[in-house]
Structure 1
Amino acid sequence: MAGESTAAAEKPRRIVVMGVSGCGKTTIGDLVARALGVPFLDGDSLHPVENVAKMAAGTPLTDEDRWPWLATVGTELANAGDGGLVLACSALRRSYRDAIREKAPDTVFLHLHGSKEVLRERTEGRSGHFMPPALLDSQLATLEPLDADEAGFVVDIAVPVSEVVAEALAGIAAVAGSKAQAGISPAGTAGTQARQFDVDLQAAPFNLDDDAVAWVDSTIRGMSLEEKIGQLFINHNNDYSPEYLDGVLENYHVGGMRYRPGPSAAVQEHIRYAQSKTRIPLLVASNPEMGGAGSCDDGTFVSTHLQAGSHPDKSIARKMGQVAGVETAALGCNWAFAPIVDIHYNWRNTVISTRAFGNTPEIVVERAKEYFDGISESPTVCAIKHFPGDGVDERDQHVVTSYNTLGYAEWNSSYGHVYREMIGHGVQSIMVGHIGAPELTRHFRPGTEDRDILPATLAPELLQDLLRGELGFNGLILTDASQMVGLTQAKKRKDLVPATIAAGCDMFLFFRNPAEDFQYMLDGYKSGVISDQRLHDALRRILGLKASLGLHKKPGAELVPPAEALRLIGSEAHLAVAAEIADKTVTLIKDTAGNLPITPETHKRIRLYGISGGSDFTRADPLAYLDTVKEELEIAGFEVHLFKTAEQREAAGEAGVNFMSVISDEATGDYADKYDAAFVFACVLGFAQEAAIRIKWSSPMAAEIPWYVTEVPTVFVSLNQPNHLIDVPMVKTAINAHAGTREAIRATIQKIQGKSEFQGTFNENVFCDSFDTRL
């Protein structure tokens, strides 16, 4: 890292461990002091007798009580000299910290942050201390988080003590490094500009040896300016022809590529050709969020993220990662845009409703680590997404800028906790979402107006001050897709392209127009928007990631496996994994009328309805899954009567039909005489075309809407979204099968008949904050 020796020589020696009562200042402070080899002092021991008596009586101290004490605290720190000192002190207000800095200007503040619930539990469990738990609310109201110009950082206490200490020591080292890199003395402050953090290629997550670092640096020295600019881009490959690839590589010198799924043989051959034609090996990315299915047409769909979080068995996520790694590596991919570490807090959010492991940080961290460990068994690096975190807003940043509106403290204990854990676990890269974070921005840039809040992709305070600084991320940062309106609405294209790199991103995902975007980036460098330091650092991270994969050691012909490796894709072994997971995760959300089991012996004649939400950009038949449902029901012994909409009947040549006539035909008094039960299978996909997704019926007052729940037992099955009960609260039996695969459909039908047990779990989002969905 640039300035590494200076940082080491100027390691912070005066540390104040701050926070409200119960956060662990004494415990953590003592352990940090031991690790640094300096003395520890509890600041409470410096209170005069009068202050101690007041606090023991439950009387809050006034500022007049505190000033002399704070001066004493500062003096103790200043008198520590070169030996250094770690001191525990609440230091809740900015003015209190300023008072300490008056005596010891180079003090670094370590803020131990915890949720109110965690803090209350800890204070109530303490004895022999003069801070009664009743004063916790008062302290939380008083607490003023660290400002951007204060030397310090935050550590979440909702993890084991050993992890808190490790994060604290990493934060202390980061503060030292940032001061050295910024060219300021230990007694200085960082100011309001974003700090620049140069990469350390021999530290995690790169862990390069001297030879690999030498390759990185010599390769950069041998590049032309155009080659350096090209390395910043990840191309979206829409064409498999050699001529297309020649143009991309010769004209734009891209550092990476990502593929739309296609036949595995075609994808592999395309990657092989690309690697053989490039001077610098390529990062080849895929989207294996569900196993191998996101990388080629014949890849194995193992499970969604939500599905992997819907059973107590955490190894489901590991198996998903293992299959994803094996199948994508067989193609020649080496970079996974996964796992997703968003938290599904808002049930209306359908961007990540099935793409998040769950609605709590704990389940997300647990399953994301499992996925990461599974895919890491293959020669693959990961890009977790979407920093600073999706799942609060209900909108889709593909079509509009969305926002994570959590306050700084709440973000730290939720999304911040997730990112700290994954960074500590070794994740190599992070994809930044086109998601604004107003309160986080204002924490680092007080007074920022609403109109000046930018998506994280363009926000140096989020990428540098927060992600690199407070969270200590040393890896590679890439943007999300640059065509997404969450980014494009923020600035003119010629400005936003270089602004992403200047803000702290290292790679730019997808050209809109290759010639234009390449020139915009080049112009941004020549005009000084992208500094020499920022360009050089981004290039070292890009090539460092390639070297961490060993790409620099392999001839181009060996960067892609032979064609025989494709036999692993969609293999019987992988399909068996998918079937096992489907069986475990089919979830019974409710059966309040006791409709189940339903068997061919008890309910032979089934009226089958399909709900799709309409066709999307893939142009695939949105109701094709119904053929599989019908086939599996008939295999089970049911007699299936498939409902068809007016549009379907017209397409089949029926004349004189309209939605009113269909309603009249369907909703007749003899419905229960014709059918013994009704099954509704919904596979509503929707992606990047609307800001929110709900059921869209085929017509006004459509005949497929479950009006028939009062006539026959009705079972509603979702093959994707978990939030459908808001639109079908009248159904008494609801199941989430998570996927439209044959394995998931077969497992669901088995469970409807009572031939196997429902094992899946669900979170409260399924009830959509409405009482009637539970009935």
Structure 2
Amino acid sequence: MTGKPVSSEDGHRHHIVVMGVAGCGKSTVGAALAERLGAKFLDGDSLHPQANIDKMAAGTPLNDDDRAPWLAEIGRRFPASNSALVIACSALKRSYRDIIRSADPSVVFVHLHGTRELLNARMTARPGHFMPASLLDSQLDTLEPLEDDEAGIVVDIASPVEDIVNDVHAALTGQSAASAGPHLVDLKAAPYNLDDAAVEWVESIIGSMTLEEKIGQLFINHNNDYSPAYLDGVLENFHVGGMRYRPGPSSAVQEHIRYAQSKTRIPLLIASNPEMGGAGSCDDGTFVSTHLQAGSHPDKSIARQMGQMAGVETAALGCNWAFAPIVDIHYNWRNTVISTRAFGNTPEIVVERAKEYFDGISESPTVCAMKHFPGDGIDERDQHVVTSYNTLGYDEWNASYGHVYREMIGHGVQSIMVGHIGAPEVSRHFRPGLTDAEIRPATLAPELLQDLLRGELGFNGLVLTDASLMVGLTQAMKRRDVVPATIAAGCDMFLFFRNAEEDFGYMLDGYKSGVISEGRLQDALRRILGLKASLGLHVRQELVPPVEALAVIGSEAHRAIAADIAEKTVTLVKDTAGNLPITPETHPRIRLYGISGGADFTRADPLAYLDAVREELEAAGFEVSVFRTAEQREAAGEPGMNFMRVLSEEATGDYAERYDAAFVFANVKGFAQEASIRIKWSSPMAAEIPSYATEVPTVFVSLNQPNHLIDVPMVRTVIHAHAATREAIRATIHKIQGKSGFQGKFNQNVFCDSFDTRL
């Protein structure tokens, strides 16, 4: 929706013009809308004088003198009507709409917007109409989108007529989100807190920008190439407002950022993903802890330390924007996209630890983008591969996720990343009557972004989409429509091009056609540039630190902190058989199993961690025999391998005579590739499945997911080490031997709602 708010009191006689170029469906939609409203419908074409009809039929465009009496007659019909009235009229220019409004200022314009391709296809499908398809381009050239001071609504004609009518009806009855106007940014208020000089810089930059530069500021590019030529192309052709780069060695990353900042007149927001410390920002960064790990010990300062090291290491690279902290609540144990990325399963622990992380990272020149509004953790699916939903009712949402967002907004968080997550009942709270088919992910839902986030929650900062390649967004509508629709709905920045030239064009077309109003664009630009000014990017002499600053990345001091956190957070989930401690003196011969679930999108060796486990066990004095699957043995040159042969060799009656204990270390990942993650064994009835738990003391150690007990309930000793780092592995092996006690805590999600997992 664009222009002035169009809601009205019950009983108002709606006076509506359904407008747009030929072929957009004005008559069809207008008639259906009139029926829905109980209004009269009139096709404006029927009011053309014969001279106008003859002229159009001859292929000659009408001029303004031709149209003036016709428009005046349309305007006259509204005050003359004793009931609600809907008239279909092209009304392409602002001056035409002013003529209609001069007779009745209450008229609301409904602009039916569509792509040229769709409009042309519709026109060519209706032979014999007095308006030939050849005049489409002249109409598009004439079209002037609705302006901010015009009461109006923009709807997409690609949607079914019923959906269009529902959207318009909701807006007219006050159930839609209001325009950007009521929630315009205040740059002098939190979280920007700009002084007059900084505000002046924002306004002067906006005033100096071309339209293409303004559209470019809405985009955050994903830099897939480190070459200067690549950056030149991105900056010169698409004028992006921000960047997130592909992780690499810290020295290469820093130089890449330095070059990017040197080539643009408007400083860039440089984002990274420091969810676990510096490790998410460069290859040699310090892995401090996961969010879950930071929530798995009474010491809340762990989260602050994670934030502090994330800030120091990313700032050394030249980053200024952290896509963290994650403020989702892990209510559903089956949800594995945030199982390690949420601080816990209650709003209280999430708020406490998220504030600590934010305070820690804020010690560096960094702003945060907390994620993923309106909140993950209810649905078990991953929005990377499918739209997921937060199905809580409004009151339940308000007491849980709403509480988290209120607290963090009040604490000063500067930006919010919106997930491709729908919230059906929350949307219906603001738009009663929304059908299931009308529910959209939050990135496309103005009722969630404007009414809820901007309105009820009072968020004055910047809103960005989550990655736009996620199927949670792309399944909603065509790419050409979804790109501008995110900004129109209330997002300020669009995360990642799919195809830069295409997406840039889609956004530009969305603005030119009125999907993105001038007011919405200006407000987004003020928020983007305001965030940059709040970082001091407009006055800083050096936007990227010198090479010497990289010495803090992966430093011994930081690794020592990580080791201390690992020592605190390794968690004993259960030892119901009393297997621990296990030492080289009591159980010298260890059979070691590695569970990985296969390679993920990073292409890293999924079992690389097993070498560290073996080395640490051997350093402790154990004799270690590593199990290999049929596939691994065949790859090593053993002929005739299959799973039955491996199983028959592994599961023999003398297992307890060969081994004194079995250790299973699992590092199962599938983030962004699977809707949910479970253990995938190497074969049917695989030999690595812990049937041997009945033969020898068996310890299962998870280095990642907390939900494995659902797949290995037969194991009586289970440890959650949280990470596949050397520090976490070493701490775990110390604790298995009884050299130090377990300090970590767990929540009840680890038992996966099944009685047998507790045995």
Identity rate, percent: 85
Which letter does structure 2 place at the counterpart of 1:520?
A: Y
Partner of 1:289: 275
Shift of 1:191: 2.1
- Does 2:401 correspond to 1:428? no
TM-score relative to the length of structure 2: 0.77
Partner of 1:137: none
Q: Deviations over 1:45-81 (max 9, x none)?
A: xxxxxxxxxxxxxxxxxxxxxxxxxxxxxxxxxxxxx
Structure 1 residues 336, 666: closer, same or farther in 2, change over 3 A? same
- Does 2:493 correspond to 1:507? yes
- Does 2:577 correspond to 1:561? no
Structure 1 SS opposite 2:279:
coil
Partner of 2:222: 236
Which letter does structure 2 place at the counterpart of 1:230?
A: G
Provide the C-alpha distance between the structure 1 equivalents of 2:613 and 2:150, rounded to a whole number of angstroms: 62
Provide the C-alpha distance between the structure 1 equivalents of 2:272 and 2:650, rounded to a whole number of angstroms: 45
Structure 2 SS opposite 1:354:
coil
Runs of 4+ in 1 over 3 A off after TM superposition: 180-183
Provide the C-alpha distance between the structure 2 equivalents of 1:297 and 1:655, rounded to a whole number of angstroms: 38
TM-score relative to the length of structure 1: 0.76
Provide the C-alpha distance between the structure 1 equivalents of 2:586 and 2:403, rounded to a whole number of angstroms: 51
Pick from 200, 205, 208 the counterpart of residue 186 of structure 2: 200
Partner of 1:123: none
Partner of 1:389: 375
Which letter does structure 2 place at the counterpart of 1:224?
A: T
RMSD value, Cα: 1.6
- Does 2:617 correspond to 1:633? yes
Query: Does the 8 Å contact 2:176/2:430 carry over to 1?
Result: no
Q: Deviations over 1:633-674 (max 9, x none)?
A: 000000000000000100110111111000000000000000
- Does 2:298 correspond to 1:315? no
Provide the C-alpha distance between the structure 1 equivalents of 2:515 and 2:471, rounded to a whole number of angstroms: 22
Pick from 695, 699, 716 the counterpart of residue 683 of structure 2: 699
- Does 2:572 correspond to 1:588? yes
Pick from 173, 189, 197 the counterpart of residue 211 of structure 1: 197
Partner of 1:713: 697
Structure 2 SS opposite 1:310:
coil
Partner of 2:15: none
Partner of 2:651: 667
Partner of 1:517: 503
Pick from 372, 375, 385 the counterpart of residue 358 of structure 2: 372
- Does 2:558 correspond to 1:571? no
Shift of 1:181: 11
Pick from 469, 473, 488 the counterpart of residue 474 of structure 2: 488
Q: Deviations over 1:118-171 (max 9, x none)?
A: xxxxxxxxxxxxxxxxxxxxxxxxxxxxxxxxxxxxxxxxxxxxxxxxxxxxxx
Partner of 2:708: 724
Provide the C-alpha distance between the structure 1 equivalents of 2:492 and 2:384, rounded to a whole number of angstroms: 21
Provide the C-alpha distance between the structure 2 equivalents of 1:619 and 1:409, rounded to a whole number of angstroms: 43
- Does 2:631 correspond to 1:647? yes
Provide the C-alpha distance between the structure 2 equivalents of 1:630 and 1:531, rounded to a whole number of angstroms: 61
Provide the C-alpha distance between the structure 2 equivalents of 1:416 and 1:618, rounded to a whole number of angstroms: 34
Provide the C-alpha distance between the structure 2 equivalents of 1:441 and 1:631, rounded to a whole number of angstroms: 54
Provide the C-alpha distance between the structure 2 equivalents of 1:481 and 1:683, rounded to a whole number of angstroms: 25
Which letter does structure 1 place at the counterpart of 2:566?
A: A
Which letter does structure 1 place at the counterpart of 2:222?
A: H
Partner of 1:18: none
Which letter does structure 1 place at the counterpart of 2:620?
A: A
Shift of 1:308: 0.1
Q: Deviations over 1:343-400 (max 9, x none)?
A: 0000000000000000000000000000000000000000000000000000000000
Alignment of 1:750-761 (within 5 A): 750-761=734-745
Provide the C-alpha distance between the structure 2 equivalents of 1:524 and 1:258, rounded to a whole number of angstroms: 24
Provide the C-alpha distance between the structure 2 equivalents of 1:690 and 1:602, rounded to a whole number of angstroms: 41
Query: Does the 8 Å contact 2:185/2:526 carry over to 1?
Result: yes
Q: Deviations over 1:688-738 (max 9, x none)?
A: 111010000011000000000110000000000000000000000000000
Partner of 2:518: 532
Which letter does structure 2 place at the counterpart of 1:579?
A: A
Q: Deviations over 1:160-205 (max 9, x none)?
A: xxxxxxxxxxxxxxxxxxxx9999xxxxx99223122100000000
Partner of 1:299: 285
Shift of 1:620: 1.1
- Does 2:207 correspond to 1:221? yes
Pick from 219, 227, 233 the counterpart of residue 247 of structure 1: 233
Partner of 1:464: 450
Provide the C-alpha distance between the structure 1 equivalents of 2:280 and 2:184, rounded to a whole number of angstroms: 33
Which letter does structure 1 place at the counterpart of 2:177?
A: A
Provide the C-alpha distance between the structure 2 equivalents of 1:772 and 1:260, rounded to a whole number of angstroms: 43
Provide the C-alpha distance between the structure 2 equivalents of 1:740 and 1:475, rounded to a whole number of angstroms: 36
- Does 2:387 correspond to 1:401? yes
Partner of 2:253: 267
Which letter does structure 2 place at the counterpart of 1:601?
A: E
Which letter does structure 1 place at the counterpart of 2:254?
A: Q
Alignment of 1:57-68 (within 5 A): none
Alignment of 1:321-400 (within 5 A): 321-400=307-386
Provide the C-alpha distance between the structure 2 equivalents of 1:651 and 1:359, rounded to a whole number of angstroms: 42
Shift of 1:525: 0.1
Provide the C-alpha distance between the structure 1 equivalents of 2:694 and 2:327, rounded to a whole number of angstroms: 41
Provide the C-alpha distance between the structure 2 equivalents of 1:773 and 1:690, rounded to a whole number of angstroms: 24
Which letter does structure 1 place at the counterpart of 2:689?
A: I
Provide the C-alpha distance between the structure 1 equivalents of 2:633 and 2:480, rounded to a whole number of angstroms: 50
Shift of 1:259: 1.3
Shift of 1:554: 2.0
Unmatched runs of 5 consecutive residues or more in structure 2: 1-147, 152-171
Provide the C-alpha distance between the structure 1 equivalents of 2:751 and 2:594, rounded to a whole number of angstroms: 22
Q: Deviations over 1:475-508 (max 9, x none)?
A: 0000000000000000100000000000000000
Which letter does structure 1 place at the counterpart of 2:232?
A: D
Query: Does the 8 Å contact 2:330/2:339 carry over to 1?
Result: yes
Structure 2 SS opposite 1:699:
coil
Which letter does structure 2 place at the counterpart of 1:647?
A: E
Structure 2 SS opposite 1:448:
coil
Which letter does structure 1 place at the counterpart of 2:456?
A: E
Which letter does structure 1 place at the counterpart of 2:665?
A: F
Aligned length: 592
Structure 2 SS opposite 1:607:
strand
Structure 1 residues 774, 182: closer, same or farther in 2, change over 3 A? farther
- Does 2:733 correspond to 1:749? yes
Q: Deviations over 1:304-348 (max 9, x none)?
A: 000000000000000000000000000000000000000000000
Structure 1 SS opposite 2:280:
coil
Query: Does the 8 Å contact 2:175/2:432 carry over to 1?
Result: no
Structure 1 SS opposite 2:663:
strand
Structure 1 residues 735, 303: closer, same or farther in 2, change over 3 A? same
Provide the C-alpha distance between the structure 2 equivalents of 1:190 and 1:638, rounded to a whole number of angstroms: 73
Provide the C-alpha distance between the structure 2 equivalents of 1:706 and 1:565, rounded to a whole number of angstroms: 48
Structure 2 SS opposite 1:279:
coil
Shift of 1:261: 1.0
Q: Deviations over 1:428-485 (max 9, x none)?
A: 0000000000001100010000011000000000000000000000000000000000
Partner of 1:738: 722
Provide the C-alpha distance between the structure 2 equivalents of 1:311 and 1:256, rounded to a whole number of angstroms: 36
